[in-house]
Structure 1
């Protein structure tokens, strides 16, 4: 075949296709629209999946919080932590015969105490105390006082310095258990 033969064959093939440039453009545009629609659908589905997953996580969190709340309620009924200062009930000894006896005041209820005290060599008395958090507050003739849990060093008294289980009113006034 010659060059002319090849040229004629190409012309015959092109004539048989009968597609114009506008037909090819329309086809390309339709294909692009299809791809765009598919991408939009995929994005919508992904958003839906994300929303559903987020809702499930939120619901699980709320369920866990409710479960924890119920468990705390049940455990609270089984184990009463009590009032922190209730463990101080009993006899405490200071230096040179000073002492403190703490008793629950059953008439006044939880967190109320009767403190019987020899607090100086010359002064003693019975005082009403109230548990406030981890301290007992009370009033004596020398003013308002606060009793707090410490070790022997915090009492400021060298004879109590090695003790571990102590209560201190102020530096120089403390009581420990033997």
Structure 2
């Protein structure tokens, strides 16, 4: 009985040591390292150009060349009031383009017409959404 207990303890110690080596490794898995180092702007660079909203609303995205890759200028009419037009600086993230506008930080992300929450854009497939009720699409 004593030998069996010692053998069991030895097995547990060996097992714990071998698991400890893999658990303590801080090196990311190869897929994770590639994903973390991949620039976010590769996706958002495809958004450069004009996007159309409803009732005269629009979004024009251009690269902010002096700021470098992943930086954009968002010229937009985002509401019907005279003061709801402007140009905002944006930066690529994994989720889309972050920018600040009245009301605080905003996120421009990809979606479809249904995600805009507007019946006039419902059938569109290539859209950018700031929030439900504010979206811009391409044909």
How high is the TM-score relative to the length of structure 1? 0.55
Q: Does 1:55 align with 2:16?
A: no
Instruction: From 96, 114, 120, give the equivalent of 1:159.
Output: 120
User: Which of the pair is proportionally richer in helix?
Assistant: 1
User: Which of the pair is proportionally richer in strand?
Assistant: 2
* Paired residue secondary structure (2:37): coil
Query: Would you say the 8 A contact 1:99–1:175 is kept in 2?
Result: yes
Q: What CA deviation, in whole Å up to 9, does each residue of 1:117-162 have, x standing for no partner?
A: 233465532111245662544334x433523443312322222112
Q: Does 1:80 align with 2:40?
A: no
- Choose 1 or 2 for highest CA Rg: 1
Call closer, same or farther: CA 1:102–1:53 in 2, change over 3 Å: farther
- Unmatched runs of 5 consecutive residues or more in structure 2: none
Instruction: From 44, 55, 60, give the equivalent of 1:101.
Output: 60
Query: Which structure 1 residue ranges, 4+ long, deviate > 6 Å from structure 2?
Result: none
Distance of 2:134 and 2:35 partners within structure 1: 38
Distance of 1:107 and 1:52 partners within structure 2: 63
The size of the alignment, in residue pairs, is 133
Distance of 1:156 and 1:132 partners within structure 2: 23
1:119 corresponds to: 78
